[in-house]
Chain A
Amino acid sequence: MATTSTFHCSVITPEREVLSTDATSVVFPAHDGEVGILVDRAPLLFALGIGVMRVDGAEGSRRLFIDGGFAQMLANDLTILTGQALEPAEIKADRARSALAQAGELKITDDASFAARDKAIRRAQGQLKLIEQGG
């Protein structure tokens, strides 16, 4: 059945619904590594990490940078809730680079500052990776 080969995927941030489309497969960065989703995936509730997600659908493949959050798959409906979701065109390479440089210079004094530095670096790296992949 052709209709069952796709599932609905939406990416929602507090500011807007970034993406709402039918997809054949989605790969997103979970908190502990990448997770691939195909149609009829069993219900899941995952915490997300920082990185690039890929949505493959009838109109080709789309990539988005996502910054943490949660993913829920329920009845062939995948919802990605994230604080920030950026298309490749929305990312400025030089800004990401300078953010990476700045993040590298952050001083680590305790666990919190280590986590903050790590997060900032991964954020910048994820954005740069998305640009390099060219969307």
Chain B
Amino acid sequence: MANKRQLVKRRKAVRNIRKITRTMQLIATARFQATFKRATASRPYSQKLAELVGNLSGIEVELTDSLLEPHSETARDTTLVITSNRGLCGGYNANVIRKAIEHIDGLTGCGTPCDAQMIGKKGITYFRFLKRAMTEVSHLGDTPKFEMIEPLADALMDRFRRGEITTAHVTYMKFYSAGRQRPEVMQLLPLATSKAGDPHGAGANAASPGAAGSEGAAVGGGTAAGGGAGGADARSGGGASGTATGVQFDFSPAPKELLEELLPATVRLRLFQCFLEAAVSEQIARMVAMKAATDAAGDMIKTLTRQYNRARQTSITMELLDIIGGAAAVQ
């Protein structure tokens, strides 16, 4: 027979845990809304950036930007893996890490050395446990700011231009909707020109038809086809003007140089958006995990209550039997 006192104690413990998980679920919900708002707040920027690139793509520019093609014969890859700093979010980190390892091992198997750059404590700890080589980035916090991401993107672009790496990827939990997130590997560098169908980037966020998406930045940059440009040549002052999308623009510096500045901005934005989406996905994962924990605690409380009641009834019956037995013996 189960001990009544023990059952009561356990039930109390489970109740307390349920209180905690429920609170965590509510906190995760609030955080989800906050991160989601942050993610949507980057939309105007990406739309406008795409618009700018759109305005420029009408100008005839032969673009040979250093971000569009690798600068070295020997292939080498860097993969950023965005994981969370805290646990209790279900399979969130495990899924991202599994995808990352799959990607890294795949590349290494093909003979391309691949450096892992782990972001977030959970990923770092796990890679340490596996004794895998990696670079650690752990200073970013839960809601990284753009100015923190910027140096990260700049460093990657720098290494890419110097030919130290030929590709750069980001593995993160992509946010499709509140009900669907999937771990994905996104190519950050070289800026993909053939992957116009890639749903990522500003294009995915830019709902307005005017915005071609920052994917368009890469595409437009590569070909820069279009109508006849006016005096698009860079004058000594760096100023130029030309027709783009039917509008006569004043450019400073010349369109070519402007595009060369726009592409890094696109890369930075895409990396930043990865972080934003990862943060949203993390909160959703935590919300779901905590909801499951709360529900499981509820079920456990029900079972324990049933066991307790049965134990109580049994002990009463036993006592009664004792008394009746005792009385019968006296008579």
**Which A residues lie at the B interface, using CB under 8 A?**
10, 12-17, 30-32, 42-47, 67, 69-70, 72, 74, 79, 81, 83-84, 112
Contacts and interface: CB of A to CB of B under 8 A. Distances in A.
A69 B265 contact: yes
Interface residues on B, range: 35 or more
A84 B48 contact: no
Interface in B1-47: 38, 41-42, 44-46
6 contacts: A12-B48, A45-B55, A45-B258, A70-B52, A81-B49, A83-B265
Instruction: Give the interface centre of A44, A47, A67, A112 by most chain B CB atoms within 10 Å.
Output: A47
B125 interface: no
Given A15-B146, A47-B257, A70 B252 contact: no
A67 B51 CA distance: 20
A16 B268 CA distance: 16
Nearest to B150: A83
Given A72-B52, A79-B48, A45 B268 contact: no
A110 to B, nearest CB: 11
Given A12-B44, A112-B158, A47 B253 contact: yes
Given A70-B52, A72-B55, 16 more contacts: A13-B45, A13-B146, A14-B146, A14-B268, A14-B269, A31-B238, A44-B250, A46-B252, A47-B252, A47-B257, A47-B261, A70-B258, A70-B262, A72-B48, A83-B268, A84-B146
- Secondary structure call for the B interface: helix
Q: Which 9 A-B pairs have the closest CB atoms?
A: A44-B250, A14-B146, A14-B45, A43-B249, A16-B41, A46-B252, A14-B42, A12-B45, A45-B249
B272 interface: yes
A84 B262 CA distance: 16
A79 B55 CA distance: 13
Contact of B265 (A43, A46, A70, A79): A70
A46 B241 CA distance: 11
A47 B262 CA distance: 9
Contacts of B45: 12-14, 81
A66 to B, nearest CB: 13
A46 B265 CA distance: 14
